[in-house]
Amino acid sequence: MNPQAKLISISALLLGTTITISSSHWMMAWTGLEINTLAILPLISNPHHPRAIEAATKYFLVQAAASTLLLFSSTTNALFTGQWDITQLTHPTSCLLLTTTISIKMGLVPFH
């Protein structure tokens, strides 16, 4: 991977993390997580080996499913509470879905 592409990928990772941490709205948090997912894919598939490409594809599919769950969780929360703010997560179904989503995105033990 050439140095400019690597610099852009690492900068996008930092940007996505900053957006996710500083957001107070579900859509901005989702946007930051998606930027992180798309920025890490070239770094995963860097050696251009079939196993690296397979790992990047599997990572993308799992992260896309987790992003869908995140959007569903935020939509469910907005449906029940009328709020799109991250701090207003009060419905139990939304809390459970969000906990599952974050666990998948972080790769915690049952989801690794």
Whole-number Å distance between alpha carbons of 48 and 66: 26
- At residue 112, does pLDDT exceed 80? no
Question: How far apart (Å, rounded) are the C-alpha atoms in residues 108 and 58?
Answer: 16
pTM for the whole structure:
0.81
- pLDDT digits over 70-95, tens only? 999 989 988 988 888 888 888 888 88
Burial class (CB in 10 A: 0-12, 13-18, 19+), 54: exposed
Q: Which domains does the chain have, with CATH numbers?
A: 3-106 (1.10.287)
Closest CA to 43 of 74, 73, 5, 70: 5
Q: Is the pLDDT of residue 68 over 90?
A: yes
CA dist 69 and 33 (Å) reads: 13
